[in-house]
Structure 1
């Protein structure tokens, strides 16, 4: 991002902010329906797979909300550097790939070690794992805060800034280690499940194939997750090549690296899942009937 975005006319700025807000709201509403369906059914709440899934969806909703809010703020008013750091820390913490690794490992155990799955993957252990994920997620955020405290005077926190992600060090060593660990986990679990799909009996082959397809899609999610971190470098390269289109480039990269990828989570599990999507449809139908009854 860059201050050149203020070269936009009032109509262009309004259009871009409206698109970001509208798309973000639609995606959050879709994700919100999955969250609502999850909490309406005890069956999903007792399955570690869906517990991890809904945690990922809620993370996406938080990150999307804060990202769109920052996008709008950069076009409107500057904020204090302290609150700006807090909002950026939320984005860093929620944009954590460890949940993808956990979901991939859970699918690996379900396919390759089905007899141990109910013992290893319990709901209590899943909640403990989520707590560990959040604890580890704070490491890159804390690292960025320490870097700022050691390189900038304390007075910078009371100054007003246009809140760009470039104010934070979004490529610290802990984040590189996290992405490397998740990448290796996805590769290993994918290959293990792929081998299992060929070895298991025909009755379980469909389940194994679905599992390795899911892990492959997690790889796509990881790539999109990484794009949100390297978007400043993408912007730099594209703006250098096409300086006159800088504001369009900033907006396009934000839309494709921060907003639209948040729609991928419900598509990977919710829409493809044979258990979740019927429950979602029944809940939507119930809400429609309930609404019509109240209107009458």
Structure 2
């Protein structure tokens, strides 16, 4: 049996350390939870006919895909696997798109809660199934802008021979000059500010309605407000992601060893952690989802007993 020091392509593999093992465990846990909730979404008609549940499912799918792909890239980077630059561009384009989709979708979900609580009479019209489809398309269009900017700058600066070179696939491969990094940071900071404004606006409006509400309406409004607060915390972690390239580039100028450590910590706190909050906010806190989950688990174990 080959060990961790076996040769691949003439180079010995690095031994797997505790950090890589911890990431694999966390990714597997989050993927299992997300996939379970995605199954719940497609089992009940009320889920895929309601805007907030559709957006929730989009978030789960995007997060699951991002976790899987970013974990594959992390393993490739750890073992220093190289690939053609053109292939790295394709992978990075998709990963960067879904890196941005989550915070944009969370902002859309917060706006949906604002419409539901502050504009209840218009909620049915503004948040219909057809409107949700257009909303998802807009979310993906907005999310693609940062990478289109980065990629355009890269295409304008890189020579043709660079695309056929074999490199370790990291996001920094597209930054050939300092001014490109400054523009990338500026685009992400612009998104950061816009999303923060949207969250603060929705929170202030819902808070105003919550104070004026009474009885069952007050209870429902405060529940919606707590959801917005949880969204705000999750979105804060996601928005910090948009600033990570700027932070990591600054750290890289100081020390490469420190850069690797900061990149690992950032991955755990700002990429993995926010993706465990979605199941909490719209999964375990939602009575409809919890009821569906209990029914599914009961049916699953009942079927297992009958088979035994």
TM-score range, shorter chain: 0.7 to 0.9
In structure 2, the CA distance between the partners of 1:166 and 1:65, relative to structure 1 (3 Å rule), is same
Match of 1:56 in 2: 59
Please give the residue correspondences for 1:1-296 in structure 2 after superposition, counting only pairs within 5 Å: 10-11=14-15, 13-76=16-79, 77-95=81-99, 96=101, 97-168=103-174, 171-235=184-248, 247-294=260-307, 296=308
Which ranges of structure 2 fall in alignment gaps of 5 or more residues? 1-12, 176-180
- Distance apart, 1:99 and its partner CA: 1.0
SS of the counterpart of 1:129? helix
Q: Secondary structure at the match of 2:286?
A: coil
- Tell me whether 281-290 or 185-194 shows the greater mean CA deviation: 281-290
Deviations 1:78-109 (A, max 9, x none): 12212222222222211222211211111111
Residues 208/177 of structure 1: CA separation in 2 closer, same or farther (3 Å cut): same
- Per the alignment, do residues 42 and 245 of structure 1 end up closer, same or farther by CA in structure 2, a change over 3 Å counting? same
- Kept after mapping to 2: 8 A contact 1:239/1:249: no
SS at match of 2:47: helix
SS of the aligned residue for 1:61 comes to: helix
Does the Cα contact within 8 Å between 2:82 and 2:169 map onto a contact in 1?
yes
RMSD: 2.3
Shift of 1:37: 0.2
2:117/2:221 contact within 8 Å kept: yes
Structure 1 counterpart of 2:10: none
- Give the distance between the partners of 2:142 and 2:244, measured in 1 at CA: 23
Structure with more contact order per residue of length (Cα contacts < 8 Å, sep ≥ 6)? 1
TM value normalised by structure 1: 0.88
* Mapped partners of 2:234, 2:86: distance in 1: 30
Shift of 1:139: 1.7
Contact 2:185 2:245 in 1 (8 A): no
Residues 140, 172 of structure 1: 8 Å contact kept:
no
Decide whether aligned partners of structure 1 residues 246 and 292 sit closer, same or farther in structure 2, where only a CA change above 3 A counts: farther
How far residue 253 of structure 1 moved from its aligned partner, in angstroms, is 2.4
- Cα distance in 1 between the residues matched to 2:41 and 2:65: 17
Change (3 A) 1:158 1:136: same
Residue 44 of structure 1: SS of its match in structure 2?
Answer: coil
